[in-house]
Amino acid sequence: MSAMAPARTESDLSFLLDHAGHVLRTRMAAALAEIGLTARMHCVLVHALQEERTQIQLAEIGDMDKTTMVVTVDALEKAGLAERRPSSTDRRARIIAVTEKGAELAHRSQEIVDGVHRAALESLPAKDRDALLHALNLLVTGHLATPVTASQTARRARETTR
């Protein structure tokens, strides 16, 4: 005896957003790997260049846990792209300072990120590009702005490392 699957009454928005996000992340990862960066490294460099920020602040911006952030900053330091320094406003805090080499690479990586985004948007008919961005912005600043608490936490899609 087999049960009939329930009829879908709405488009599978979860699948569409997850799949599009996953493929976009894989394309981004491949493009950034060509210059020796990960998306996380790019995120730290770009946001650390915007203003003086601590490792904790950068982890929050990049949605990284403490361990991932430490590993990311360690890799940036090892590559000579960033360094931990005392904050100019709070001597107890340490900030992530981007080196000259790191700033140059951040500008290059931003061009790559913009190119990946541009290619995705240009795959759509021109009339749909602005509509998609507008609708997504409405969702992330409105109905889908804040995650809800649930007894079982929703896991983010696992990214393959290789």
Domain ranges of the chain: 38-141
Residue 155's pLDDT is: 65
How many beta carbons lie within 10 A of that of residue 59, not counting itself?
Answer: 22
Report the C-alpha dihedral over residues 51, 56, 59, 61, rounded to 10 degrees. -50
Amino acid letter, residue 126: A
Name the fold adopted by 38-141: Arc Repressor Mutant, subunit A (1.10.10)
**pLDDT tens digits along 101-111:** 999 999 999 99
Residue 149's pLDDT is: 86
Residue 54's pLDDT is: 94
CA–CA gap between residue 134 and residue 137 (Å, rounded): 5
CA–CA gap between residue 150 and residue 105 (Å, rounded): 40
Residue 1's pLDDT is: 53
DSSP-assigned beta bridge partners for residue 82 = 98
Residue 104's pLDDT is: 98
Residue 162's pLDDT is: 42
Question: pTM for the full model?
Answer: 0.84
- Sites in the chain below the pLDDT cut of 50: 161-162
Region label for 66, one of left (φ > 0), alpha (ψ between -120 and 50) or beta (otherwise)? alpha
Residue 131 has φ and ψ, to the nearest 5°, of -65, -45
